[in-house]
Amino acid sequence: MTLNHSITHSLGDGDGDVESTLPGISEGEIVVLRSKRRKKSISAYRQGGRIIISIPARMSKADERSVIPEMIAKIRAQEADESPSETILLDRVTQLLDLYAPEITQRPQSINWRAMRERWGSCTSVDATIRISDRLKGAPAYALDYVLFHEAIHLHHFDHGPEFKAVLARFPEEGRAEAYLEGFEAAERRYMPPTVLPGAQVL
Ligand SMILES: [Zn+2]
């Protein structure tokens, strides 16, 4: 990847009065790039698990501080439009279990989107709560379904033993979904390792 940015400065660099983490933002989620090519425009986009915000190199720190939360809010709002609500996710889990694992009668109490960069989902069987990585917002249905189904099986099978695997293998697009998730992770590693962006502050 070619990074068309000169990174000359980063948010919170130096003067110590900027919060290192913004509310609702997980560590490493926001990367601010200062671009000499940019005159006025600001862009923000999701890349893998991160939000990349590109601003003009000359922008003042005060402007930067006010503009970044706006851009984050914008991205979040777009994603909220694209991502299924918790109710839809709960319905989907019920459908998946009815279809592929009718012997599992447990149902999740709640499903929440969560900023998780190391995992695709998690299931806490004690209180039957499922969390899904927000990296799956906007993912193709088969990939999201696969992760939902995986976590839902954990309501009954707590580990990844042979019984768990046998149930998971009933998901018809397991191979395709695995390939999607692996490709996503490979792209994250390839394009956005933090070491590639010296000077870009990772919040
Ligand atoms: Zn698992």
Asked whether the CA dihedral 137, 75, 68, 198 is positive or negative, the reply is: positive
How far, in Å, CA of 130 to CA of 154, rounded? 9
Which pLDDT score, from 0 to 100, does residue 182 have? 95
Q: How far is the CA of 50 from the centre of ligand 1 (A)?
A: 23
Q: How far is the CA of 155 from the centre of ligand 1 (A)?
A: 10
Closest CA to 56 of 73, 41, 75: 41
Residue 75, judged by CB atoms within 10 A of its CB (0-12, 13-18, 19+), counts as middle
Q: How far is the CA of 33 from the centre of ligand 1 (A)?
A: 35
Which pLDDT score, from 0 to 100, does residue 190 have? 75
Which pLDDT score, from 0 to 100, does residue 26 have? 63
Whether 154 contacts 168, CB under 8 Å? no
Q: How far is the CA of 126 from the centre of ligand 1 (A)?
A: 15
Angle at 180 between CA 43 and CA 111, to 5 degrees: 80
CATH architecture of the domain covering 86-188: 2-Layer Sandwich (3.30)
Residues 11-27, buried b or exposed e (16+ Cβ, 10 A)? bbeeeeebeeebeebbe
Q: How far is the CA of 162 from the centre of ligand 1 (A)?
A: 12
Q: What is the pLDDT along the chain (203 residues), one digit of tens a residue?
A: 333 333 323 333 333 333 344 556 666 778 888 888 777 788 888 876 788 888 998 899 999 888 888 888 888 888 777 778 889 999 999 999 999 999 999 999 999 999 888 899 999 988 999 999 988 988 999 999 999 999 999 999 999 999 999 999 999 999 999 999 999 998 888 766 554 444 555 54
Spans of all domains in the chain: 1-81, 86-188
Q: How far is the CA of 27 from the centre of ligand 1 (A)?
A: 23
Q: How far is the CA of 35 from the centre of ligand 1 (A)?
A: 41
